[in-house]
Structure 1
Amino acid sequence: MHLMMILTALTVSWLLRCSWSNPQGLWQARWRRSLFLFLFPPLLIFMTAIAVLFMGPQGQMGGMYTGWLSYELAFIALTFFAVVCFKLAFQGWQSVESARNSPQVNFEGKQIRLLNTEALFAGQIGFWQPELVVSQGLLQTLSPDHLDSVLAHEQGHYYYRDTFWFFWLGWVRSCTVWLPNTEPLWQELLALRELRADSYAASKVDPLLLAESLLLVVSNKSVLLESGVCCAALGVPGVGDRLEQRIEALLAPPEPTSSDQLQSWHGFMLAFLPLLTVIFHT
């Protein structure tokens, strides 16, 4: 019976991921749909494995005897998830320590880490309380107004705690690369993350200035950090591929704020249904 639960969870997850197609429309609606299809299947698999592990290899469920095979599969899966999490956490810690080797300076009332490089770079590096890292090249190249727009974009990443949440989403990505559309959905979420930070910045500064700054920063191809696991930066690799989309969003009228953000999380509650099966195990 436990093996049937695992196969059912895998089948549902596979079919849901196959239903994804590159969406169009407002970024907020795209964000909700892409996040659900990216996160729900792994969450369903994770909850099923926990339920099987909790019920153990002995006993009955629905009149059918359980066995060691499903229990061992669940244990191996959860162990793999834990190992991947520790690996990514260590890589993230290395990135944070690398950033902290740069001197901390006060810039217009903000504490920033100053990178000694001519490359154009600005990013939040860390987890729940990330630090703003800015390169000397960026400070020397951009005008004060353009620099303010870049810092407003980075403040958007800080406001939404992108470094923290995308660490966990990156963990999900690493654990479920075998599911369909994992990489396209991941790239979509990265692009939407930047659109969301752009939208936040556009409410604070002139969107045209931000668009001009974006053109300057993303044209720089230097890779300053080996790991982006806990980094949310304006000019990270891959963002430039969607440059036109971001420029168009900045120049378009602002999107209305969605009022159903809480309701959008209700669908994730279905992923916890496997935990209810524990009461039927004897």
Structure 2
Amino acid sequence: MTHLIMLLLALTFAWGIRQTATIPTGGWSDRWHRTLGWFLFSPLLLCNTALALAYMGPCLHMALWWEGWGSYAIAISFLAAAIVLGLSLTIEAQRSLHQVRRYPQLEMHGKTTRLIEISTPYVAQIGFWQPELVVSQGLLQSLDSAHLEVVLVHEQGHLHYRDTFWFFWLGWLRRLTAWLPQTEALWQELLILRELRADRWAAQHVDSLLLAEALLSVVSAPQIQPENFCASFSSAVVRNRLNERINALLEPESSSLGGQSWWLLLVLLPLIVIPFHS
């Protein structure tokens, strides 16, 4: 019965936490940590609970099958779905990266890029830990040298934070727990905060006004790559919240301390009980 209670408690807390989640306001740093916490808590709690139940195995002495094998089967099914989804996304990402590496290379402002022969202005980092920088012919035609340079510095910010790598895994959790409340709203918030973070990094190296002007020039560009492993300067979420990003560039806020990560202790509770299992 203990295993079934663990499963029900995890589902209840995961659903309840997401149901009460709110999109944070205030400074960038506080918004980033709070949004990331709201997004990660429920999936990590469910994953850790499933791992704990799978490790402990079914309770064979239970009178009713669903008290032992039932919770064990649910945990195994959840982990299997997570693995299959992760493999599927990895294969999809590898195919996309393989296609990108077929594009011709060129040097721009000291950076190696891949050139796509399309008329739409587009620039993005595509890949995993070491992504490929991709630009379109339309971007080269629509921006002068100064504006093109600041856009490339913005993309360097994504590389600095390894956004394509970390957002691949965040995207995996998003797909895995899409049935939880507010998953998509929190995901969209993380995407815009990712762009704001890259903007902040770029503004430390180039003129923020030039970056704002470049953003206005290419904001109509469609998102032509899957967002799980792509950090695009003009993604759909940027078009929807353009004013917010422009204002952040023109009126940068002062730095603030990062948020607390005490909630990580709570999501580890299912694993902590394993040694006490008999």
TM over 0.5: yes
Structure 1 distance, partners of 2:107, 2:220, is 27
Structure 1 distance, partners of 2:122, 2:187, is 22
Which residue does 2:229 correspond to in 1?
230
**Structure 2: gaps spanning 5 or more residues:** none
Structure 1 distance, partners of 2:252, 2:192, is 19
Structure 2 distance, partners of 1:237, 1:95, is 19
Tell me if the contact between 1:219 and 1:240 (Cα under 8 Å) persists in the aligned partners. Answer: yes
Q: How big is the alpha-carbon RMSD for the aligned residues of Structure 1 and Structure 2?
A: 1.7
Query: Does structure 1 residue 278 correspond to structure 2 residue 274?
Result: yes
Which residue does 2:251 correspond to in 1?
252
Structure 2 distance, partners of 1:92, 1:253, is 34
Deviation at 1:66, TM superposition (A): 5.8
- Which whole-Å deviations, capped at 9, do the CAs of 1:11-63 have from their partners, x for residues lacking one? 111111112223221111111011001001110110001000100113679xx
Tell me if the contact between 2:140 and 2:148 (Cα under 8 Å) persists in the aligned partners. Answer: yes
Counterparts in 2 of 1:46 and 1:75: CA distance versus 1, 3 Å: same
Structure 2 distance, partners of 1:123, 1:179, is 29
Which residue does 2:5 correspond to in 1?
4
Provide the secondary structure at the position in 1 that maps to 2:33: helix
Structure 1 distance, partners of 2:173, 2:119, is 34
- Which whole-Å deviations, capped at 9, do the CAs of 1:121-155 have from their partners, x for residues lacking one? 11101100001111121112211111111011101
Tell me if the contact between 1:84 and 1:171 (Cα under 8 Å) persists in the aligned partners. Answer: yes
Structure 2 distance, partners of 1:22, 1:274, is 27
Deviation at 1:254, TM superposition (A): 3.7
Deviation at 1:117, TM superposition (A): 1.4
**Structure 1: gaps spanning 5 or more residues:** none
Amino acid at match of 2:237: G
Structure 1 distance, partners of 2:91, 2:254, is 38
Which residue does 1:109 correspond to in 2?
110
Structure 1 distance, partners of 2:61, 2:219, is 58
Structure 2 distance, partners of 1:280, 1:43, is 21
- Which whole-Å deviations, capped at 9, do the CAs of 1:96-130 have from their partners, x for residues lacking one? 11211211112232111111111101110110000
Structure 1 distance, partners of 2:149, 2:29, is 25
Provide the secondary structure at the position in 2 that maps to 1:249: helix
Amino acid at match of 1:229: N
Structure 2 distance, partners of 1:147, 1:14, is 44
- Which whole-Å deviations, capped at 9, do the CAs of 1:73-113 have from their partners, x for residues lacking one? 10001001111111111111121112112111122321111
Query: Does structure 1 residue 265 correspond to structure 2 residue 261?
Result: yes
TM-score calculated relative to the size of structure 2: 0.94
Q: What is the number of equivalent residue pairs in this alignment?
A: 274
Q: Name whichever of 99-108 and 179-188 sits farther off.
A: 99-108
